[in-house]
Structure 1
Amino acid sequence: MTEKQLHTSLFATRISKAQIDILVGQLEKEPELAKVLFQYVLQEDKEGTFNASWTFDHLMRKQLHYLLPFLETFTNGLSQLQSESCIRPIAHVCEMVCEAYFKKKDPTFLKTVTNNQLEKIMTACFDWLIGPMNIAPKVFAMSSLYYLGFKFDWVHPELKQVLEDNYPNGTSGYRNRAKKTLDKLARLGV
């Protein structure tokens, strides 16, 4: 697959889940196109479409390590995202990065991911958590921030405060995840 073929696949029309699966299968053979795909995510965020972000999320589910060569570009791009259609899948990728780093303790991620990059993920996640998003980006942000609190000690108390403040007005999905996260924080003594 070439960059031009990728562009055509993403921008010709809205693509289905089946088409995304085929596209991801092709992209798994072309790891260098992962960075190009993320550039398309940034582009489509401005255009209000989401083929690239959905495809990027599905590719990262299968090949998260493809993100590492351009992780700095990825974390720098988080603050640029505005469309919830793009933020949702990218928030999921952030959660996967945090799980690889903190939960799975993947040696490649531990060696490659910098504190500065984790801080950029943390900033974006707090923005998504307190911003006017629907539930999915908030849920991914809660999980990421829970993990990030093991590296940055001020995060857990701040996360707890945000969740407690927003709990009464949250949707049932928000309250459900917030309760689970608050329970985990309580077990940690936060």
Structure 2
Amino acid sequence: MKEILFSRLEKSNASTECRNGLRDFIFDHPEQLKDLIAFGTDLYNKNHHKAVWIMEMIAEVKTEMLLPHINTICETISGYKHDSAIRGMSRVAYFLGTSKNITLTEFQKEKLIEICLDWLIRDERVACKAYAMKTLVHFGKKEPWINEELREIIDRDYAQQSAGYKAVAREVLGKIK
């Protein structure tokens, strides 16, 4: 079964139909989630980003399925370099950080906050920065220093950013003022 999953991942593309098929495969065979996570967190595998696409879809619909794998995700999340994987992991971080069904450990929160701040100050794409801001504003409800840091980063970078970034930044600033 593991070989079937890996073969499907390697042959997959970014089409919605393909990604939905892989997501549904994992929903039908939850015992394969461990292998999907291993594939998606193997940063040396040239196709790891394809597994991240599926992890992202699972996080959106059934976040609690990722519960046994959160430490693995948190330990590798800062190592992603592929733009598509980074975008997907920013969504995974968002869904993990905002889930009402999951209680993160301090280590897990710390790792998610750290990478979200890194994504904001690095030269990442807008979608990644948008999810990072949304995740941080959620954590900022309990940790006021996060809101202060977030406001400072947004104020500093706002003028140079795209319209999409500015729209999310305005929304986030409205929540923290």
Same topology, TM > 0.5: yes
Q: Is the contact made by 2:136 and 2:147 (CA closer than 8 Å) also made in structure 1?
A: yes
Aligned residue number for residue 71 of structure 2: 72
Q: Give the letter for the 1:139 counterpart.
A: A
Q: Give the letter for the 1:31 counterpart.
A: P
The change in CA–CA distance for 1:85 and 1:34 in structure 2 (over 3 A counts) is same
Q: Is the contact made by 1:99 and 1:147 (CA closer than 8 Å) also made in structure 2?
A: yes
Same amino acid, percent of matched pairs: 25
Identify unmatched segments of 5+ residues in structure 2.
Answer: none
Aligned residue number for residue 125 of structure 2: 134
3-state SS of the aligned residue for 2:13? Answer: coil
Aligned residue number for residue 87 of structure 1: 86
Aligned residue number for residue 37 of structure 1: 36
What is the TM-score normalised by the length of structure 1?
Answer: 0.86
1:26 aligned onto 2:25 = yes
Aligned-residue RMSD, C-alpha: 1.7
One of 159, 162, 176 as aligned partner of 1:168: 159
Identify unmatched segments of 5+ residues in structure 1.
Answer: none
Q: Is the contact made by 1:95 and 1:140 (CA closer than 8 Å) also made in structure 2?
A: yes
Q: Is the contact made by 1:45 and 1:83 (CA closer than 8 Å) also made in structure 2?
A: no
For 1:143 and 1:174, locate their aligned partners in 2 and report how far apart those are by CA, in whole Å.
Answer: 11
Aligned residue number for residue 62 of structure 2: 63
For 1:95 and 1:184, locate their aligned partners in 2 and report how far apart those are by CA, in whole Å.
Answer: 16
Which of structure 1's runs of 4+ aligned residues deviate more than 6 A? none
For 1:35 and 1:158, locate their aligned partners in 2 and report how far apart those are by CA, in whole Å.
Answer: 35
Aligned residue number for residue 174 of structure 2: 183
Q: Deviations over 1:22-75 (max 9, x none)?
A: 221121122232232122223367526632111221122222111101111111
For 1:12 and 1:180, locate their aligned partners in 2 and report how far apart those are by CA, in whole Å.
Answer: 39
> Shift of the alpha carbon at 1:125?
0.5
> Shift of the alpha carbon at 1:151?
2.8
3-state SS of the aligned residue for 1:47? Answer: coil
Q: Give the letter for the 2:97 counterpart.
A: C
For 1:91 and 1:15, locate their aligned partners in 2 and report how far apart those are by CA, in whole Å.
Answer: 17
1:5 aligned onto 2:8 = no
> Shift of the alpha carbon at 1:81?
1.1
3-state SS of the aligned residue for 1:133? Answer: coil
Q: Give the letter for the 1:6 counterpart.
A: L
The change in CA–CA distance for 1:116 and 1:176 in structure 2 (over 3 A counts) is same
> Shift of the alpha carbon at 1:92?
0.4
Question: Number of aligned pairs?
Answer: 177
Q: Deviations over 1:110-143 (max 9, x none)?
A: 3xx2011011000011111111111000000000
For 1:129 and 1:46, locate their aligned partners in 2 and report how far apart those are by CA, in whole Å.
Answer: 26
